[in-house]
Amino acid sequence: MPRTVGPREKWIHYGVFFLGVFMVFGGIVAGFGALQYEFALDSTTENPEVGGRPVYEYGNLPPQEQRVVDGAIDGKRYAFESNTPIPGVGQSGLRPKQVVVRKGDATYVFTHEIGFAETEPAGAAAVALVLVGFVAVAEAIRRHHYPRSLPWQTG
Domain ranges of the chain: 7-31+119-145, 35-116
Pairing of strands 106-116, 78-80: unpaired
pLDDT, tens only, 77-115: 888 777 677 776 665 666 778 888 888 888 888 888 888
Q: Which of 39, 32, 53, 41 is nearest to 85 (CA)?
A: 39
User: Confidence band (pLDDT; 50, 70, 90) for 76?
Assistant: confident
**Poorest-pLDDT segment among 1-5, 44-48, 137-141:** 1-5
pLDDT category at 19 given cuts 50, 70, 90 is very high
> How much is the average pLDDT of 52-65?
82
Non-local (6+) Cβ contacts of 137 within 8 A are 17, 20, 21, 24
pLDDT over 60 (residue 74): yes
Radius of gyration (C-alpha) of the chain in whole angstroms: 25
Looking at 56-60, 113-117, 138-142, 144-148, which range is the least confident one? 144-148
| 45 φ/ψ angles, rounded to the nearest 5 degrees | -150, 155
Mean pLDDT for 114-141 is 91
- Provide the mean pLDDT of the chain: 81
CA 77 – CA 54 distance, rounded (Å): 22
Res 1 pLDDT > 50: no
- pLDDT exceeding 90 applies to what percent of the chain? 20
